[in-house]
Structure 1
Amino acid sequence: MSKWHDIKVLKESTLLQTMEIIDKSTLQFAVVVDENDHLLGTVTDGDIRRSFLKGHSKDVTITFVMNTNPTVFKVGHPRSFYIKFMKQKQLKQLPLVTDDNKIIDVLFIDKIDSGYENSVVLMAGGLGTRLRPLTNDIPKPMLKVGGKPILETIIDGFKQYGYTHFHLSVNYKKDVIKNYFQNGEAFDVSISYVEESNRLGTAGALSLLPEKPKTPIFVMNGDLLTQLNFEQLMHFHIENDSIATMCVREFEYQIPYGVIETDGDDLVSIKEKPVHKSFVNAGIYVLNPEALDYIPENEFYDMPELFQKLLNLGRKTSVFPIREYWLDIGRMDDFEKANTEYEEKNI
């Protein structure tokens, strides 16, 4: 994700001020916006040079120089989609905007084509007890949905948004996973393995990473299917300046009785079979590198414990509500549902 704020200029800026921003960023590109970050135009190094040939002074406002009709695209598509579009149009950069033309990001083909540096840690060491006998010989993340292992579908989901560096935390039937994925080269990603000698929970395995990451990392349970836009999740995490972000899902449950509200001995109201809504943990997280300092080494430690510790210490944590398709394959009926929905939902 580009730091597009570094190449932002207001419409009142002069040509000289824009030149300084372009030269400082080394991107040879700037976006012109209003006070609410609505995109008004773009400026390249070439635009500036051509303006000098037209006789413009350095004090002219940038609105006289900018391209008022640049190629833009709506935010929300997979990274692979933008790469294909930019190559077809031979674009070096592409501003991403909302429906009301508010700029969200600027993509640069030489940067997005090489992918992000952020690592993805997938928890794939569970026993899958509730899915036996299917998991007697293979670990749950290797069960096939739509003809390929759940874990492969998860990796493909991250890969389409440019995240290709994976650590797989393995324990139960680990050789099945390692023999299938190996170093990831056959899947156009890089894969290393974190081997748990004992079960360490959804956070404890992070203490076994070979080195502390330099950028925020994803952590995700290896038995989930989702169409989540991981690029948007990372953008949300960075914009909120949080040490940790937890993805959540809205869960509804209906009380099968009439619920009575009272005031002392007085009946106040009767709500017949009300539906309650709550947010629940969706098993997908983004952690800053310093968050790992709070995880005990080689001890069982679950992710909710880490978030509670961060809250107790007053560290900023966030929640990211998932609106996209999401399914936790924990039971046999979930597994059957996943296979039914695989083609329907285009997972």
Structure 2
Amino acid sequence: MNDWKKILILPDTKIQEAIEIIDLNSLQIAVVTDRDGKLLGTVTDGDIRRGILKGVPLSNPVEDIMNAHPVTIPEMKDKTSILNILKINQLRHLPVVDGKGRVIGIEWVDDLITLSKYENWVVIMAGGLGKRLSPLTDDCPKPMLKIADKPVLETILNQFIKQGFHQFCFSVNYLSEQIREYFGDGSKWGVEIRYIAEKKEMGTAGSLSLFPVKTELPVIIINGDILTKLSFEQLLNFHLSHQARATVAVTTYDFQVPYGVVKVNKDRLIGFDEKPVYASFINAGIYVLNPEVLGRIPSSYFDMNHLLEIMLEEKEPVCIFPIREYWIDIGKIEDFHQASLDFPVVFQ
């Protein structure tokens, strides 16, 4: 909304004048600030109607009826998150404020409703002990380790939100209270977050047997120590277009033999390959599973690879989706340091 400054009013503005401003502009709201532009409140048609019902004269100042504690947001580029915050709080407008509380814009639901949105659930596996990252994880769950002053789990969440996903389930175990306290129900990000509580170690897939939602749509699963710029939209569309029951995201791992490799034919030397590099696909820790597949996972220690092997034995369609974007598994101390170096370039 380019002309949002037209709806700014002072607290001593008469209610009648506020009505005229609201009617004249299309935003259906007036924003009350002091003379320095600091937000004091908002006035909507509903506030005015409630004031009239209480007998407040229209000649009174607007501060008598304004909402003095409106929901606000900082400046955000992610329109999907803004739309989710509007929906969760059942609002049509969000004042945008800077660090000093001054109004710098207005986000309006009518400007955002064309954004695509996915109803698929995303499960983030955040219950691991992170032993290989000790001592960093001695008092902190691995997904809560901070890179660029932000938990890894929050970066994962934001990557999904930017692409239109808004329903999440965190599978937690080790020091889970830290994750629950930080993320809560997800309303801070304008999304829904539920939790699977692992009361014991359940492997890389066992906790999915406790998934608390009935859905007919494929579910995306990602390990809570993965940072990637993967297009989850493309991953999901690939899964659907290939009519897979399970899709495994894979990435390329290069391994260089530190020696010259001898080429032989039976007992004859036929040449050398000096320090060759071999490339292989490795499991990237990101999956799409149809809901009926989740229903087959036992409520016990159970690994994802075991599930996939069973599906292959039964000739079920399991596809792989190669990741060409940035991807790193923060499994070791050196991975954590590398991700910290990469972050400003990749995610900013």
**Range of TM-score over shorter length:** 0.5 to 0.7
The residue correspondences of 1:109-258 to structure 2 (distance < 5 A) are 113=115, 115-258=117-260
> Residue deviations 1:63-121, cap 9 Å, x none?
xxxxxxxxxxxxxxx9959x99xxxxxxxxxxxxxxxxxxxxxxxx9976372110000
Equivalent residues of 1:80, 1:161 under 8 A apart:
no
Q: Read off the aligned partner of 1:273 and give its amino acid letter.
A: K
1:346, 1:265 → 2: CA distance? 53
Larger mean Cα displacement after TM superposition, 328-337 or 244-253: 328-337
Paired residue for 1:263, among 251, 262, 265? 265
Judging changes above 3 Å, is the alpha-carbon distance between structure 1 residues 146 and 79 closer, same or farther for their aligned structure 2 residues? closer
- Within a 5 Å distance, the mapping from 1:1-347 to structure 2 comes to 80=79, 113=115, 115-296=117-298, 298-346=299-347
The match for 2:86 is: none
Question: Partners of 1:263 and 1:225 in 2: how far apart?
Answer: 44
Partners of 1:79 and 1:112 within 8 A in 2 = no
CA RMSD of aligned residues (A): 2.0
SS in 2 for 1:201: coil
What is the CA distance between 1:294 and its match in structure 2? 2.5
Aligned residues: 244
Which structure has the greater CA radius of gyration?
A: 2
Q: Deviations over 1:129-173 (max 9, x none)?
A: 111111111100001111110000000000011111000000000
Q: Percent of aligned positions with the same letter in both sequences? A: 47
| Runs of 4+ more than 6 Å apart | none
Q: 1:79 to 1:346 in 2, by over 3 A?
A: closer
Report SS of the residue matched to 2:185. Answer: coil
Letter in 2 for 1:284: I
Which residue is equivalent to 1:58?
none
Residue 294 of structure 1 aligns to a residue whose secondary structure is coil
CA spacing shift, 1:293–1:229, aligned 2, 3 Å: same
What is the Cα deviation at residue 261 of structure 1? 2.1
Asked if structure 1 preserves the Cα contact closer than 8 Å seen for 2:79 and 2:112, the reply is: no
CA distance in 1, matches of 2:247, 2:143: 23
CA distance in 2, matches of 1:172, 1:152: 17
Change (3 A) 1:274 1:110: same
Q: TM (normalized to structure 1)?
A: 0.67
- Structure 2 Cα separation of the partners of residues 277 and 182 of structure 1: 41
Q: Unaligned 5+ residue runs, structure 1?
A: 1-77, 85-108
CA distance in 1 between counterparts of 2:116 and 2:186 reads 16
Structure 1 counterpart of 2:135, which letter?
P
